[in-house]
Amino acid sequence: MTADLVYLVAGGALLLAVVLPQLLRHWAISAPMVLVVVGMLIGLTPLPDGMPLDPQDNRATIEHVTELTVLIALMGVGLAIDRPLNLLRRSSWGGWSPTWRLLVVAMPLTVGAVALLGWWVAGLAPAVALLLGAVLSPTDPVLASDVQVAGPRTGDDHEVDGDDEVRFGLTSEAGLNDGLAFPFVYAAILLATEGAVGGWAWEWVGFYLVGKVVIGVLVGLAVGWALARVAFRGRRTTEAPSVAERGESLLVLAALVSAYGVGEVVGGYGFLSVFVCAMTLRSAERGHEYHKAMHEVVERLERLFTLFVLLVLGIALTRGLLATLDWRGVLVGVSLVLVVRPLAGYVALAPWARHPDEVGGMTTPERWAVSFFGVRGVGSLFYLAYAAGESGDLGADWLWSTVAFTIVLSVMLHGVLATPVMKRLDHARGRAADSDRDVGDAPGRSASPLAS
């Protein structure tokens, strides 16, 4: 009976994944919001007791399902970003300025602030408090589709996505911080299993913080470069067209599995390998329509897996997942979504910011939008399940309740606000662009310093 119910839930998620985008296109309601609510309603029905919803008894299943969901999302994000990143060009790094700021400043601040709340307010042990900060630090724009880039563009305008810094910043941040949360998770695991920081601090810095990141990036570059050659530089003859010319978009799944597998086998962060692999693939023949075909495959899988996870999460919410939630968990979740992330994001983006007319520059409202829309999602469930598998002390029911509450709060609040806020920002950006064109057309002024 349990297996039959799993098929039923999966079928329902697939059906809703197909019909919801069309039904909700005129409403400020996201599909993830609907799936969570539908799941909660299903959970109120008399389901069999054998339904696999208890995170303690089904930790491994939760870990692997959420792991695959995150991997698919990372591949989709990497292919969707149009803005190139040339590691040898300083100007290219500057175009990614919001991303680096969010990763280097906002993410550690978020981890530290949530850990402090967990230790000081919730009375958690240091290792558990640090884990709470680590699992709630990565963002997930997949759960608020209005704040992510739409997908790869081809043609003359494919070089730089400079018109929408908010969507670019949130999407690129999520692509990288899903892997960069791992060092903090490992710090919590080491603190719980090894004890005093002095015994493992240098190992953590050298291997978990630096070594595994470098290995993951190098693997992603290598696998992406090799598969790009397979896709675009095969035998260019009428008898044997290249993979891209044949439109074999399933190559993207080979890239996903290969990058992750190699990255993990050689000791790197596989999440980073997948994202960097996708970015490397995207950089080859950037204007080719094949990128759209690959992204469409990943996008469909991403939508299905994400909505399935959220549907099951909704069922679990009304079947006991929130049983141990108390005022401390509510305070941590609300503080993260409404205070910690917005302030940490703005502190990262505001100082020495680029001019809004430059690539990577934002207006003040745009900086606040990026700071606020740090959506928490599936990645948090994966990291918690992973850590619980490494140390039983890190899998307490209270942590599951708090993380689940925070995810649902984020999905609901950000889902409601995403559409109106993004429309307002798009409108403001359009007015600014029209104003610039009017100034450029005025007598005695040129629209560009390169104009003759």
pLDDT by residue (tens digit) across 160-185? 555 588 889 999 999 899 889 999 99
326 has a pLDDT exceeding 70 = yes
Distant-in-sequence, close-in-space partners of 366: CB < 8 Å, separation ≥ 6: 165, 166, 356, 425, 429
Per-position DSSP letters for 56-67, written without gaps between them: TTTHHHHHHHHH
SS3 of 254, please? helix
The 10 Å Cβ neighbour count of residue 416 is: 16
3-state SS, residue 123:
coil
Q: What share of the chain is helix, strand, coil (3-state, %, to 5)?
A: 70, 0, 30
- What is the mean predicted confidence (pLDDT) over 335-341? 96
User: Using an 8 Å Cβ cutoff, are 75 and 256 in contact?
Assistant: yes
Residue 451 clears pLDDT 60, i.e. is over it: no
What pTM was computed for the model?
A: 0.89
pLDDT on residue 206: 95
Which pLDDT score is estimated for 116? Answer: 96
pLDDT tens digits for range 57-70: 889 999 999 999 99
End-to-end CA distance of the chain: 74
91-140 pLDDT, tens per residue?
778 888 899 999 999 999 999 999 999 999 999 999 999 999 999 999 98
Binning pLDDT at 50, 70 and 90, where does residue 298 land?
very high
Class in CATH terms, 2-430: mainly alpha
- For tokens 């609510």, the residue is 37
Q: Nearest Cα to 220, choosing from 150, 276, 175, 290?
A: 276
Report which of 313, 280, 251, 305 is spatially closest to residue 73, judged by C-alpha positions. 305
What are the tens digits of pLDDT across the range 363-376? Answer: 889 999 999 998 88
Q: How confident is the model at residue 347 (pLDDT cuts 50, 70, 90)?
A: very high
